[in-house]
Amino acid sequence: MAKHNVARSPLEQTTLASLDQKLAMAKRCSHEGVVAGAKAAVMATIATAIPTLASARMLPWARANLNHTAQALIISTVAGAAYFIVADKTVLATARKNSFNQRSNIEA
């Protein structure tokens, strides 16, 4: 039996507001991680593409062994790794910072 017309207690209202606040904070943390990861991926792509493409044209070993697929795999692997590492570290750092901020707000 569901009770639709029952007023919520102040504790329940606080809990729902706290959940909404935590959800908003989690979304902000993940968004910051995505943005930082995308920036890192772009920088890693540029930093990897230039020497990879140059070496594939100038070095005899690279010219013989690194076809276009291998070059693309090197560049995309570095970009993907940079994205996930930076995004993960950013999300964790933001969550840690927010955790300390919440703890100091509770103590005050």
Per-residue pLDDT of 12-60, as tens digits, reads 556 777 788 888 888 988 999 999 999 999 999 999 999 999 999 999 9
Count of domains for the chain: 2
SS (H, E, C) the chain: CCCCCCCCCHHHHHHHHHHHHHHHHHHHHHHHHHHHHHHHHHHHHHHHHHHHHHHHHHCHHHHHHCCHHHHHHHHHHHHHHHHHHHHHHHHHHHHHHHHHHHHHHHHC
Q: Are residues 61 and 72 in the same domain?
A: no
Q: Are residues 56 and 72 in the same domain?
A: no
Task: Note whether 71 and 56 are within 8 A (CB).
Answer: yes
Q: Are residues 101 and 75 in the same domain?
A: yes
Q: Is residue 9 part of a domain?
A: no
| pTM of the predicted model as reported, rounded to 2 decimal places | 0.73
Confidence check: pLDDT of 108 > 90: no
- Residue 85: per-residue pLDDT: 97
Residue 85: domain span? 67-107
- Residue 22: per-residue pLDDT: 83
Question: Between residues 105 and 19, which one has the greater pLDDT?
Answer: 19
Q: Are residues 96 and 75 in the same domain?
A: yes
- Residue 24: per-residue pLDDT: 86
Burial 63-96 (b: 16+ CB within 10 A, else e): eeebeeeebeebbeebbeebbeebbeebbeebbe
- Read off the pLDDT of residues 72-104 as tens digits, 9 standing for 90 and up: 999 999 999 999 999 999 999 998 887 777 666
Contacts 24+ apart (CB under 8 A), 2-10: none
Confidence check: pLDDT of 9 > 60: no
Q: Are residues 83 and 93 in the same domain?
A: yes
Q: Are residues 58 and 45 in the same domain?
A: yes
- Residue 7: per-residue pLDDT: 59
Q: Is residue 93 part of a domain?
A: yes
Q: Are residues 61 and 82 in the same domain?
A: no
Q: Is residue 11 part of a domain?
A: no
Q: Is residue 90 part of a domain?
A: yes
Q: Are residues 36 and 54 in the same domain?
A: yes
